[in-house]
Amino acid sequence: MDKYSSQVDLIREAFHYQSRFADSTMVFKVDFPVLEHPLFPSLVKDMALLSQTGFRLVIVPGAREWIDSVLGEYDITSQYNGSKRITSSSAMPFVEMAAFHTATRFMTGFSGSRIDAVIRKCIWGRGLGVVEGVDMQHTGTVDKIYAASLSRVLELGMVPILPCIGRNSTGKPYNVLSTEIALQTAASLKASKLFIISLSGGINLKHHKIPDGIEIGGNDKTTRLSPHEALSLLEINPAGAIRHWRSLSLQCGH
């Protein structure tokens, strides 16, 4: 009986979620390793279903690992300043190629579910310049999000996909962190939700104290959390374990 009660509660929760957030904007930043996972087609189908039921979706694909692969294929070695890639002039065309390749994979997946998706160049970027004495070359940051252009696409019922490339007023391209693009896009569109989908991290038994009654999957990670369960989780875990997600929320204006 508990099993069926849980299923009914999940259905009720889904209907409540749909009625609460229908017609709202949601930004999804998806790390590249997720695209290589066998369940990636199922993820795209779930996103397509969200779009079909009235949610306005924006997709920001991560491309770091695929950029590494493409540059390696052409014998181009990346230098780093901290965690940021120094994108040289010789590397930039291949970075663009890799970024748009990942975006195309989403567009192809959505077309299979009869959802119109479009790759948009809506990121106004600028170079980072010299950081701690190091010229970052074609590595950039978000200067502006063309929110009006994105909104027009969303009003047409389409799903915009944003590669990790920003351009300045003369059209010069820059390699921009996809996480930064997702954060700035969510803030510019006043999105109701920002999701970061990754194969790493997550809430699991190894690194977190899990309250009794929370559902745990075969990989020792939580499979779903109710708002009440999430609050319980925050109460019994150190502040440092949740600081990162709080900072993301603050940057998005929530």
d(CA 32, CA 77): 20
d(CA 92, CA 152): 30
DSSP state of 83: T
What pLDDT was estimated at residue 2?
Answer: 54
**Band of residue 8 on the pLDDT scale cut at 50, 70, 90:** low
At residue 238, the 3 state secondary structure works out as: coil
Handedness of CA 68, 69, 72, 73 (dihedral sign): negative
Per-residue pLDDT tens digits for 20-34:
667 799 999 999 999
**Band of residue 90 on the pLDDT scale cut at 50, 70, 90:** very high
Residue type, 7: Q
Q: Please answer whether residues 241 and 203 qualify as being in contact, where contact means their C-beta atoms are separated by less than 8 angstroms.
A: no
Query: What beta strand segments (E) does the chain contain?
Result: 25-30, 56-61, 79-81, 84-86, 117-119, 123-127, 130-131, 134-135, 140-145, 159-161, 165-167, 173-175, 193-197
Q: Taking the CA of residue 52 as centre, how many other CA atoms within 13 Å lie in the half-sphere pointing to its CB? A: 11
Question: Does this model's pTM top 0.75?
Answer: yes
d(CA 44, CA 56): 14
Domains defined along the chain, listed by start: 23-200 (3.40.1160.10), 202-254 (no CATH)
**Band of residue 149 on the pLDDT scale cut at 50, 70, 90:** very high
